[in-house]
């Protein structure tokens, strides 16, 4: 059994085999189970012949649990699998919406110290609510999809007395180590989801790399927030891990001060101790360098709080929606979840195989990995390609 993909895991994804239609499968070991070939939880077989997990996610928590029980029983009896190396893995989601949060207090503090060295590291709202922004769901791609360096406006160079921006490829391209969760359908428009009810709507988790063009973002994000600097690609793992598989690594979240508003309080926070790492394979190299190791256990704002806050104004949640934690960083330099932190804004290059890096170069490949006890999360991998020609 391939390490981390046993019967206690059984993540879901979308695959295609020998030119056939896309369909939903589960991974066990190094094999893929075609769910359309089984009778699981009373789900019609046509649900499994789909381009994304969305139709299955729309069935809700009761059906998700029934399918998992039946699938585990089938795997214990023995099921036919296709070698994972012989199928094409597709993006598991077609998100109607995508939200990226800012939930790591270590990451937020690092950036605050970097950008506001003479002021408070955290803005006044940060400890009161999970800060977030709406990303571009059409740019969510599966692990292994190449990421093209974006074009955009860059801030004026310090030496340019005119104060004029420049235009061209991003020169400060970065990764962001994140943990995302995906949902089923929520209540009608105008009806918030209580933090205590979040488990009923969250199906599972995936690693997320919300790539960031730091120079473009610096110029464009005020006063409304990220735009083109974050819309060019968001990479997710090819397999989504069910929430039930994470039960052994559930933890109490960090203490919050001040106490949050009542709508953000819950005895079921959905906080997990998932060991995370980032590896970088520099352009032209064959070996990778692990440049960061951290854990999701220290996230200040939990999944339950993120979902509760995202819907408190009445926003609707739909099957396949993706919510990401924001960059996850620890307290030490080797545990930071982005290059802007690891190199402290490009000031301190880090050593990698065959050289050093401040930000990503064309041909570099970034790999995010996660381990939750006996469960291995599907990696999120992407290689940087050159930008298109300047218009």
Active site residues: 107
| Dihedral sign for Cα atoms in the order 40, 44, 46, 47 | negative
Q: How far apart are CA 229 and CA 245, in angstroms?
A: 34
What is the CA 67 to chain-centroid distance, rounded?
A: 24
Q: How far apart are CA 342 and CA 335, in angstroms?
A: 8
247: left (phi over 0), alpha (psi -120 to 50) or beta: alpha
> Burial, 295: exposed, middle or buried (Cβ in 10 Å; 0-12, 13-18, 19+)?
buried
Q: Which helix (H) or strand (E) element contains residue 63?
A: helix 61-77
Q: Are 375 and 246 in contact (CB under 8 A)?
A: yes
Task: State the CB neighbour count (10 A cutoff) for residue 200.
Answer: 14
Q: 291: which strand partners?
A: none
Task: State the CB neighbour count (10 A cutoff) for residue 99.
Answer: 23
Pairing of strands 140-142, 234-236: parallel
Q: Are 171 and 202 in contact (CB under 8 A)?
A: no
Count the helix, strand and coil residues of the chain and give each as a percent rounded to the nearest 5. 25, 30, 50
155: left (phi over 0), alpha (psi -120 to 50) or beta: beta
């Amino acid at each position: 059994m391939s390490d981390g993909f046993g019967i206690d895991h059984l993540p879901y994804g979308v695959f295609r085999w020998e030119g056939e239609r896309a369909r939903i499968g589960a991974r066990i070991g190094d094999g893929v189970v075609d769910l359309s070939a089984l009778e699981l939880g009373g789900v019609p077989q046509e649900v499994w012949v789909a381009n994304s997990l969305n139709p299955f996610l729309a069935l809700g928590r009761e059906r998700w649990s029934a399918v998992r029980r039946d699938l585990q029983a089938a795997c214990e009896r023995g099921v036919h699998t296709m070698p994972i190396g012989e199928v094409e893995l597709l993006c598991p989601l077609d998100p109607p919406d995508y939200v990226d949060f800012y939930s790591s207090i270590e990451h937020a503090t690092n950036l605050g110290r970097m950008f506001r060295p003479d002021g408070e590291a955290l803005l006044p709202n940060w400890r009161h609510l999970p800060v977030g922004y709406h990303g571009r769901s059409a740019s969510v791609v599966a692990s292994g999809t190449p990421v093209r360096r974006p074009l955009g406006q860059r801030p004026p160079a310090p030496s340019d007395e005119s104060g004029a921006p420049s235009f061209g490829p991003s020169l400060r391209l970065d990764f962001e180590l994140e943990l995302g969760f995906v949902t089923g359908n929520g209540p009608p428009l105008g009806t918030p989801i209580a933090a205590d009810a979040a488990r009923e709507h969250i199906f599972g988790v995936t690693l997320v790399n919300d790539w960031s063009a730091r120079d473009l973002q610096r110029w464009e994000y005020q006063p409304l927030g990220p735009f083109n600097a974050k819309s060019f690609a968001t990479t997710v793992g090819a397999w989504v891990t069910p929430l039930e598989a994470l039960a052994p690594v559930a933890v109490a979240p960090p203490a919050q001060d001040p106490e949050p508003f009542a709508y953000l309080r819950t005895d079921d926070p959905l906080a997990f101790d998932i060991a995370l790492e980032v590896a970088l394979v520099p352009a032209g190299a064959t070996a990778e360098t692990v440049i960061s190791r951290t854990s999701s256990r220290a996230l200040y704002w939990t999944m339950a709080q993120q979902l509760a806050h995202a819907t408190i104004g009445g926003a609707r949640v739909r099957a396949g929606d993706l919510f990401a934690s924001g960059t996850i960083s620890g307290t030490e330099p080797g545990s930071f979840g982005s290059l802007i932190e690891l190199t402290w804004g490009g000031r301190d290059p880090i050593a990698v195989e065959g050289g050093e890096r401040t930000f990503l170069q064309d041909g570099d490949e970034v790999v995010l990995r996660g381990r939750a006890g006996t469960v291995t999360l599907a990696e999120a991998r992407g290689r940087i390609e050159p930008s298109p020609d300047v218009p």
